Structure 1
């Protein structure tokens, strides 16, 4: 699954266009490598997202094309 789509489906980032912009500004990393909007994400990957002064580190648990609000948080686990 593409990283921009995963971030939107998991609700880590609200919109896919914002996820795409974050990738283009090199604020998203997959396994410590800069992610492009089309970078593939797999179960077990570690995603690091940098927002201004804060950051989030999450481990991918499930890939799902369609999720509801309740299931979105089960797609990842926050680390640290």
Structure 2
């Protein structure tokens, strides 16, 4: 499954077009390799997504073509969620 579709179906990112844009900017890695929007994701892959000052690391648990809202979180496990603090604004 493509990374942009996985992020949309799992509801980590709400729109596939936004997931594609983030991936193509080099803000997503799969197993420590920079991913493009067309990069494939498999179960047990580790995905790191950088959103501004937030870095989200997830483990892929399942690949589903469609999901209901309640089932979306079964597709991944959050490994870590880190925030960079901006000290310049203090």
Q: TM-score w.r.t. structure 1 length? A: 0.98
Q: TM-score w.r.t. structure 2 length? A: 0.87
Aligned length: 80
Q: Superposition RMSD on alpha carbons, in Å?
A: 0.5
Consecutive unaligned residues of structure 2, counting only runs of 5 or more, are 81-90
Runs of 4+ in 1 over 2 A off after TM superposition: none
SS at match of 2:49: strand
- Give the C-alpha shift of residue 55 in structure 1: 1.0
Which structure is larger by alpha-carbon Rg, 1 or 2? Answer: 2
Distance of 2:36 and 2:19 partners within structure 1: 10
Counterpart position of 1:66: 66
